[in-house]
Amino acid sequence: MDLEAESIVKIDMAMSSDITESCKKLLETQKKIATAEEELKKLKEVETNLSEQTIPNLMQQAGVELIKLEGGISVEVKPFYSARIPASRSEEAFNWLRENGHGDLIKNQVSLEFKMKQDNEAKALVEELKQKGLAVQQKTSVHPSSLRSFVTEQIRDLGKDVPAELFGTYVANKTKITTKE
């Protein structure tokens, strides 16, 4: 039995340097990944600044909306819209949508999924089930694409304001570069 215990110890000792080296490589790789991710984050910030600030400002100063560069490259600045309801403001945002005639954007989920334009039916069912003493869980949401389309329509197409603090609206001009490739 002592012979068998010695061989296990010898195998473990021999493997430990391989394990140690592999662990060192893993740590080095993780550091490289973290550095690359940080560099990517910085590059994305530079890209956003160029696309949403520098180029749109320069083109506005030049009084142009579209320019064509050498090599078949076209540069155009177009409006960009984004929106996201902060979790801490969701009930308030939903109430605003309902009060302003846009409650049909809200989806409700009560063990069934209610589609857009069924907000009233979902609320009624939840109340009915609660009155029957059932433990009902209701989930309400506005799909991000629906919200973005709504905000775009309200601001761009209809010239209306929507509460930016409720909908996390972000409006910017974005540079679009196309090539003839």
* Three-state SS sequence of 98-111: HHCCCHHHCEEECC
User: For residue 163, is pLDDT > 70?
Assistant: yes
> Pairing state of beta strands 170-178 and 73-82?
antiparallel
First to last CA, the chain: 73
Q: Are 121 and 107 in contact (CB under 8 A)?
A: no
Residues 6 or more apart in contact with residue 160 via CB below 8 angstroms? 154
Q: pLDDT tens-digit profile of 136-158?
A: 777 788 898 999 999 999 998 88
Handedness of CA 102, 105, 110, 114 (dihedral sign): positive
Show contacts of 94-97: CB within 8 Å, 24+ apart: 94/140, 94/142, 96/163, 96/166, 97/142
pLDDT of residue 34: 96
Contact 85, 93 (CB under 8 A): yes
CA distance 143 to 123: 18
- Percent of the chain at pLDDT above 90? 45
Q: What is the DSSP letter of 71?
A: G
Mean pLDDT score of the chain, rounded to an integer? 86
> What local confidence, expressed as pLDDT, does residue 62 receive?
94
How many other C-beta atoms lie within 10 A of the C-beta of residue 60?
12
Higher-scoring residue by pLDDT: 120, 9: 120
pLDDT digits (tens, 9 = 90+) for 56-75: 999 999 999 899 988 889 99
pLDDT class of 110 with cuts at 50, 70, 90? low
